[in-house]
């Protein structure tokens, strides 16, 4: 286990600045259809901010305040934060990000979970946090390293927690993190005290008949999502190399591709940076740029596209306690009647009036409170 600190050199920063400065942006589409992708106006604002106001060094310094390590097993390296509480009776909690996220999306929630007493959450359970970067992403990525599937990442994270000496622990995940957490719960149920999710990774078959009004509403929303919002899944699942070459050659292209997901998947009322911190989003995008990991980050989609079986299925249900935070702008939210077919021990189902896919960035306090409620219900 090696200690780690981020140290992106000035040459890389200068290269990024030059590429942004010399990028070609064409205003050909207008703003008449927000469903067509990120507009010229929006990407222009982000790129201008990235070039003239954003400070990678500041974000890097904030990241380096936390203890970071590299875990290596079977030639696979994983970068992770290990943030311990200063309060008594802390419980271990593994936080798992998804795509196109990173460890940066958890920075605002860390103090709320590790030291709730100091952050106006008196009486909340404190946690010792283990926050890995997915093996295909950021500081965990290496061009010579084999990219991993969701199942392989799950096994690797079980090994990480075992190596750290955690015999029992909780997991929280969203997006791909919800898949990984659920697979871990199937593979190592004796080690996992419970999983808390803010996205439910249920199979998306559209041939099902609704058994109640909630299921009917869900299936209609799912049909819309599958028709209009899954283009990224198709190309990442079929031709990831082709897309990766384009995105790795241009930071503006990379930014547009990732920023569009933040616009589409957050509860922002067309004012994204009123809901999330633009510096956090750009730190996340910069991490993808500096590491060159975007192609490898697609790999779970590529492997899943070629698999006959969905990662979560009724033949291997999740029996450990599960809690769910439902935010209305999540990309899809199955009702409890469907979730209970896969998660057999749902102890918390918390619905919120606002919020979206990047819950730890959009609603860190609400998410921290839900995690606390969930853990209390498992004790």
User: How do residues 128-174 score in pLDDT, each as one tens digit?
Assistant: 999 999 999 999 999 999 899 999 999 999 999 999 999 999 999 99
Q: Please pick, among 128, 175, 267, 370, the residue that the annotation labels catalytic.
A: 175
Q: Point out the least confidently predicted range of 277-286, 303-312, 365-374.
A: 303-312
**pTM of the full predicted structure?**
0.96
Task: Report whether pLDDT(239) > 90.
Answer: yes
Does 9 or 146 have the greater pLDDT score?
9
Q: Does the annotation count 301 as an active-site position? A: yes
Please tell me the predicted confidence (pLDDT) of residue 33.
65
Tokens encoding 208: 């099902």
Q: What's the rounded mean pLDDT across residues 174-201?
A: 97
CA 119 to chain centre: 24
Domain CATH for 34: 3.40.50.1820
Does 158 or 25 have the greater pLDDT score?
158
Q: pLDDT exceeding 90 applies to what percent of the chain?
A: 89
Please tell me the predicted confidence (pLDDT) of residue 379.
87
Q: Please pick, among 301, 343, 352, 370, the residue that the annotation labels catalytic.
A: 301
Q: Does the annotation count 357 as an active-site position? A: yes
Q: What's the rounded mean pLDDT across residues 255-268?
A: 96
Structural domain total, the chain: 1
Please tell me the predicted confidence (pLDDT) of residue 229.
92
Please tell me the predicted confidence (pLDDT) of residue 111.
98
Task: Report whether pLDDT(29) > 70.
Answer: no
**Residue range of the domain that includes 170:** 2-378
Q: How confident is the model at residue 1 (pLDDT cuts 50, 70, 90)?
A: confident
d(CA 289, CA 338): 38
Q: 243 and 298 in contact (C-beta within 8 Å)?
A: yes
Task: Report whether pLDDT(296) > 80.
Answer: yes
Alpha helices in the chain (DSSP H): 10-21, 40-52, 56-63, 110-114, 150-163, 176-187, 213-228, 231-238, 240-249, 251-265, 278-291, 294-297, 299-305, 336-339, 359-362, 364-378
Average pLDDT taken over every residue of the chain: 95
Please tell me the predicted confidence (pLDDT) of residue 34.
67
């Amino acid at each position: 286990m090696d200690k780690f600190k981020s140290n992106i050199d000035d040459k890389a920063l200068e290269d990024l600045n030059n590429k942004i400065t010399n990028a070609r942006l064409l205003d050909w589409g207008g703003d008449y259809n927000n469903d067509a992708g990120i507009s010229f106006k929006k990407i222009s604002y982000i790129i201008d901010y990235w070039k003239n106001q954003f400070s990678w060094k500041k974000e890097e310094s904030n990241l380096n305040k936390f203890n970071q390590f590299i875990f290596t097993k079977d030639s696979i390296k994983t970068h992770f934060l290990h943030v311990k509480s200063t309060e008594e009776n802390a419980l271990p909690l593994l936080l798992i990000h998804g795509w196109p996220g990173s460890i940066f999306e958890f920075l605002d929630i860390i103090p709320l979970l590790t030291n709730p007493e100091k952050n106006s959450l008196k009486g909340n359970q404190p946690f010792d946090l283990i926050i890995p970067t997915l093996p295909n992403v950021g500081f965990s990525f290496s061009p010579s390293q084999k990219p991993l599937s969701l199942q392989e990442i799950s096994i690797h994270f079980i090994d990480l927690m075992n190596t750290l000496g955690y015999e029992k622990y909780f997991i929280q995940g969203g997006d791909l993190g919800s898949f990984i957490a659920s697979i871990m719960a199937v593979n190592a149920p004796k080690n996992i005290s419970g999983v808390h999710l803010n996205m439910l990774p249920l199979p998306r078959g559209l041939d099902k008949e609704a058994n109640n009004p909630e299921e009917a509403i869900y299936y209609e929303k799912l049909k819309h999502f599958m028709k209009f919002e899954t283009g990224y899944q198709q190309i990442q699942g079929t031709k990831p190399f082709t897309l990766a070459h384009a995105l790795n050659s241009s930071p503006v292209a990379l930014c547009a591709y990732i920023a569009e997901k933040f616009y589409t998947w957050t509860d922002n009322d067309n004012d994204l940076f009123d809901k999330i911190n633009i510096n956090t989003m750009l730190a996340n995008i910069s991490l993808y740029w500096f590491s060159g990991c975007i192609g490898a980050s697609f790999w779970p989609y590529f492997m899943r596209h070629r698999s006959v079986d969905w990662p979560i299925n009724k033949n291997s249900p999740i029996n450990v306690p599960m809690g769910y935070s439902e935010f209305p702008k999540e990309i899809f939210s199955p009702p409890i009647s469907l979730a209970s077919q896969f998660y057999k021990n749902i102890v918390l189902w918390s619905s919120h009036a606002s919020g979206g896919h990047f819950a730890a960035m959009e609603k860190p306090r609400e998410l921290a409170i839900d995690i606390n409620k969930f853990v209390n219900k498992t004790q």
